[in-house]
Amino acid sequence: MRSWGVEQKRREFAEFYAAAKDDCLRIVLVSVGDRQLAEDLVAEAFTRAWMSWRTVRDHPAPRAWVVRTALNTHVSWWRRKRREVPLADAEPAAAWQPAGVDDALASAVRALPARQREAIVLRVFFDLDTEATAALMGISPGTVGVHLHRALGTLRTQIPSLLD
Amino acid sequence: MNDEEVLAALRSSLGGAKDSLADVHLDRSADAIRARARGRRVRRGLAGAGTAGVALGVSLAFTVGGGSGATARSVHVNLDAWSVNTLPGGLVYLDVRELVQPALLRQTLAQAGVPAIVTFGEFCTGPSGGDTGNLDQVLGKAAPGGAPKLTIRPAAIPAGSELSIGIVSVSKQGLAGLDTSFGLVKEGSRLTCGQPPAGQAAGVGKKGPRVPGQTGPVKAKPTASGGSGVAVPVKTTPAS
C-alpha cells in the first residue's frame, strides 16, 4: 500500500521538475550538441522519472538519474536510427554552437568518447567537483579522474593553444 | 601543465558557452510530462492484456502549398515513432505511431512547409482561445476511397500563424487510441496548454476514439475538415 497520496506525489515531482529541468537540459545540450534532440531526451527522461517516481525520489542524486537516463536514451535512439530509412533530402540538424567558443575546441570536445565528454562537461561547464561529478555519472571518483585525464590529454594534443 | 591547469584553461576558453547556457530553458510543463507517462502506461497495459494487435496510429496527409511564409521542400523522415514524407503532387504524409520526440516532429514539419506547434499529451490554444476561423480551409477533406487521411493546405494558414497539433493517448473499453486537436495560433503568442477533460482523456466521453473491431492500426480521420467516419475526433476548441 502506498504511503503517500497522489497529490503529494504530484507536488513532489512538480517541485523537482521545476528545479531540475533547466540544469538537466543544459547538461544534455552540451553533451549532444542539438537543442531539439536535447529537449526530447530530457522530456523523455523526466517522463520515465515520473513513471518510476518512488525510485527516483529515493535516489541519492535524482538529477543524475535524469541526466543519465537522457544520455542513455540518446544512445538507444541513435542505435535505432541506424536501422531506419535514410533521410533522402533531410539536412542534418545544425549542431548547437555556444557563443564565444572556438570552433576547433567545441568540435574536439564533441569528438571525445561519451563518458570523457560527460566528465569534461560536468567539471568545466558546471563547475562540479570530482565527487559531485562521480555521483552524477554513477561512477567512482577515481574513474572520473581517469576519464578526465584521458579527455584532457586528447584536448591538449588536438588544441595546443590550450597550453599557451 | 597538469590536469588542473588544463581544466582552468578550458574553463576560461569556454566561459562564453557557460553564459549562453543561461538562456536555455525547458518550456514543457510538468503536466505534459505526466500526461505523456500516462499515455505510455495505457499502451503498456494494452500490450500486457494481449491486445497488441490494436496499434496506435494517427495518419495525416498534408498538402504542401508553400504558403504562409513557410519554405516547403521534399522531406522524407522515417523514425520508429513517426514518419513525415512528402508525396508526389505536393502532399506530405504524417504517420504517428508513438508520442515521442515532438520537437523533432515540429522541426520536420517545418521543413515540409507546415509551420506547426506539436504537443504530445496535452492540447494548446492561443490567448483568444484558439483562432479557428480558417481551420476549415487549412484542413481539407479526406481523399475518397483511400485510407483515412487528412489534407492540410499550408497556403491557407494565415501569415504569422502556426498550426497547433495536439495528440493525446486515450483509452476506451480497455483499448487505446489517439485524440487529436488542431488550432491556429499566432506565432510567438503565449499558449495555454492542458490535458483534455478526464472523461474525454479516458475515452468515456462522447468524442472518445472509435475502437475498431478488428486488429490493425487506428487511423485518424478528423471531422474538423468536414470528413466523416471519425476514428479519432478533432476538436477545434481544445479543452483547457
Q: Judge whether B51 lies within some domain.
A: yes
| Among chain B residues, CA nearest to A37 | B104
What's the pLDDT at B197? 62
Percentage of chain A exceeding pLDDT 70? 79
Mutation for B interface: A42, A47, A78, most B CBs within 10 A: A47
Last residue of a domain, one of A50, A85, A120: A85
Residue identified by cell 510567438 is B188
Chain A, residues 2-31, CB within 8 A of chain B, namely: 10, 13-14, 17-18, 21-22, 24-26, 29-30
Q: Indicate yes or no: CB of A163 within 8 angstroms of CB of B9.
A: yes
Q: Do A40 and B102 touch (CB under 8 A)?
A: yes
Do A102 and A77 reside in the same domain of the chain? no
Cα-based distances in Å from B175 to B149, B208, B232: 22, 11, 13
Q: Which domain holds residue A108?
A: 97-164
Please state, in angstroms and rounded to a whole number, the distance separating the CA atoms of residues A14 and B165.
Answer: 25
Q: Is A56 on the interface with B (CB under 8 A)?
A: no
Do A68 and A125 fall into the same domain? Answer: no
Q: Residue B203: is it exposed, middle or buried by C-beta count within 10 angstroms (0-12/13-18/19+)?
A: buried
- Any domain includes A152: yes
Do A147 and A115 reside in the same domain of the chain?
Answer: yes
Which of residues A103 and A80 earns the better pLDDT score?
Answer: A103
With respect to residue A92, please indicate whether it lies within any of the assigned structural domains. Answer: no
Q: Closest approach of chain B CAs to the CA of A158, in angstroms? A: 13
Cβ-based contacts of A105 with chain B (< 8 Å): 13-14
How deeply is A10 buried, as exposed, middle or buried, from its count of CB atoms within 10 A (0-12, 13-18, 19+)? middle
CB contacts of B13 in chain A (<8 Å) are 101-102, 105, 162
For position B44, what pLDDT does the model report?
56
Do residues A51 and A74 both lie within one domain?
Answer: yes
Boundary (domain end) residue, out of A56, A85, A114: A85
| Contacting residues of A for B3, CB less than 8 Å apart | 148-149, 152
Return the CATH number at A104: 1.10.10.10
What pLDDT does residue B90 have? 65
Binning pLDDT at 50, 70 and 90, where does residue A48 land?
very high
Instruction: Tell whether A105 and A163 lie within a shared domain.
Output: yes
Pairing of strands B161-172, B175-186: antiparallel
Sort residue A16 into left (φ over 0), alpha (ψ -120 to 50) or beta.
alpha
Kindly state whether residues A24 and A77 are assigned to the same domain.
Answer: yes
pLDDT of residue A124: 82
**Domain membership flag for residue A155:** yes
- DSSP 8-state code for residue B131: B
SS3 at position B112: coil
Position B153 in a domain: yes
pLDDT digits (tens, 9 = 90+) for A144-159: 999 999 999 998 888 8
Does the beta-carbon distance from B15 to A17 stay under 8 Å? no
Contact B13 A105 (CB under 8 A): yes
pLDDT at B61: 37
* Among A85, A105, A122, residue at a domain's last position: A85
- Domain identity same for A81 and A101: no
A81 and A150 together in one domain: no
Task: Let me know if residue B79 belongs to a domain.
Answer: yes
Is the pTM here over 0.80, yes or no?
no
pLDDT confidence tier of residue A68, bands split at 50, 70 and 90: confident
Range A75-84 average pLDDT = 53
Decide if B78 is inside a domain. yes
Residue reference for cell 478488428:
B214
Q: Is residue A114 part of a domain?
A: yes
Residue of A22, A80, A117, A124 to mutate, interface with B, max B Cβ within 10 Å: A124
CA distance to partner chain A, nearest, from residue B96 (Å): 15
Provide the domain count of chain A.
2
Interchain CB distance below 8 Å, A43 and B6:
no
The domain tally of chain B equals 1
A75 shares a domain with A12: yes
The alpha-carbon gap from A93 to the nearest alpha carbon of chain B, in Å, equals: 9
- For chain B, first and last CA: distance in Å? 59
Q: How far is CA A157 from CA A68, A110, B6, in A?
A: 28, 15, 12
Q: Is B20 within a domain?
A: no
| Span A97-156, pLDDT tens digits | 666 566 777 778 878 888 898 888 888 877 788 888 888 788 899 999 999 999 999 988
* Rounded Cα gap, residues B234 and B120, in angstroms: 14
Sheet with strand B161-172: strands edge to edge: B116-120, B161-172, B175-186, B234-235
pLDDT at B28: 86
Q: Is residue B102 part of a domain?
A: yes
pLDDT at B201: 44
The per-residue pLDDT string of chain B (240 residues; one tens digit each, 9 = 90 and over) reads 677 888 888 777 776 666 777 888 898 888 888 888 877 765 555 444 433 333 333 434 333 333 444 456 777 777 777 777 776 666 677 777 778 888 888 888 888 788 888 888 888 877 765 455 677 766 665 444 433 346 666 767 777 888 788 887 776 666 666 777 778 888 877 777 877 665 444 332 333 333 333 333 333 333 333 332 223 333 333 333
Of B131, B87, B132, B136, the closest CA to residue B113 belongs to B87
Which domain range does residue B229 map to? 26-235
Same domain, A64 and A131: no
DSSP bridge pairs for B92:
B62, B86
Contact B3 A22 (CB under 8 A): no
